């Protein structure tokens, strides 16, 4: 993590930041967050991230105390202060009062926290470990990106301990949903398939961007419920996320192997990079 952070309206050293130990968001994981990709000192597709984060905040009854333009300008300021030209950022809104716990009396209803850091090192070809019963499709908060992220982090660490790069999560119906922090896609007969949001997966920003990009590249991409057995008919598999962009998958447990990245994955990866360059040029 970079040495400076944004806490509400101040950029300050990480060691000087102070949160209330009774804060509901800290004790209960009550809040929302999003992870940003920083290109040339600016967060990519920030408006899409903001829309998802504020939508989730409304579902979780978390007040968002500041506007989009202000937060965007402060993220750019923080990236500049940290000399973070390329990397990742994380924006969190942490609820201070709720249930039986509360922050300091007279404090803000919600704390805004923003961090920046270098990109994590991800392989060109991912190895995924199937994980049963890791998502509840009918949950009242299914698909919300909230601070309570212990399960995904635990499953990621367990997968890595077994020699995998990520876990591929199955829901209560045994359907494929997503990885711990990436959306899932497979290519079959030239067509791209990805689990629907009704599976319980997160509405990833890169996932959202890929639909029109794929159409312009002449690749059909649609939602379809997928079971592990469907992977046997896949020609290619890839995942998408803000920090991984489009990344090939070469192995899914227990014994499925794929050429990674495959030809369609490479085409989508190139189309996505062109989109990024055009987006940065218009910023």
Cis omega (within 30 of 0) for bond into 126: no
User: What is the per-residue pLDDT for 198?
Assistant: 97
Ranges of residues in the chain whose predicted pLDDT is under 50? none
In angstroms, the Cα distances linking 183 to 168, 238, 249 are 9, 9, 12
Residues 33 and 104 in one domain: yes
Q: What is the pLDDT of residues 148-182, one digit of tens each?
A: 999 999 999 999 999 999 999 999 999 999 999 99
Residues 277 and 139 in one domain: yes
Which domain covers residue 144, as residue numbers? 125-282
Q: Which residues, 6 or more positions from 12, have their beta carbon under 8 angstroms from its beta carbon? A: 4, 5
User: What is the per-residue pLDDT for 99?
Assistant: 83
CATH number, residue 81:
3.30.470.10
User: What is the per-residue pLDDT for 282?
Assistant: 66
- Neighbouring-strand partners of residue 167: 129
CA gap 113, 11 in Å, rounded: 10
User: What is the per-residue pLDDT for 20?
Assistant: 82
Residues 138 and 222 in one domain: yes
CATH number, residue 184:
3.20.10.10
Residues 86 and 150 in one domain: no
């Amino acid at each position: 993590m970079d040495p400076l952070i944004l806490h509400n309206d101040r950029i300050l050293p990480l060691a000087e930041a102070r949160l209330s130990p009774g804060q509901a968001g800290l004790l209960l994981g009550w809040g929302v967050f999003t992870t940003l990709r920083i290109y040339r000192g600016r967060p990519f597709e920030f408006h899409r991230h903001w829309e998802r984060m504020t939508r989730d905040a409304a579902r979780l009854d978390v007040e968002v105390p500041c506007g989009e333009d202000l937060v965007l300008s402060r993220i750019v300021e923080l990236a500049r202060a940290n000399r973070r030209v390329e990397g990742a950022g994380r924006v969190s809104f942490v609820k201070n009062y709720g249930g039986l716990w509360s922050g300091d009396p007279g404090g803000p209803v919600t704390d805004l926290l923003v961090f920046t850091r270098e990109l994590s090192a991800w392989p060109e070809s991912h190895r995924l470990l199937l994980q049963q019963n890791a998502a509840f499709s009918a949950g009242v908060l299914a698909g919300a990106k909230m601070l309570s992220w212990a399960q995904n982090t635990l499953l990621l660490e367990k997968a890595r301990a077994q020699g995998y790069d990520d876990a591929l999560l199955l829901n209560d119906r045994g359907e494929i949903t997503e990885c711990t922090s990436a959306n899932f896609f497979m290519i079959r007969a030239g067509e791209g398939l990805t689990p629907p949001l009704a599976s319980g997966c997160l509405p990833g920003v890169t996932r959202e961007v890929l639909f029109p990009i794929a159409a312009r590249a002449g690749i059909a991409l649609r939602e379809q419920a997928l079971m592990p057995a469907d992977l046997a008919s896949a020609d290619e598999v890839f995942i998408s996320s803000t920090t991984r962009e489009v990344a090939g998958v070469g192995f899914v447990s227990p014994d499925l192997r794929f050429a990674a990245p495959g030809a369609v994955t490479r085409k989508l990866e190139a189309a996505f990079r062109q989109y990024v360059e055009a987006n940065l040029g218009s910023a």
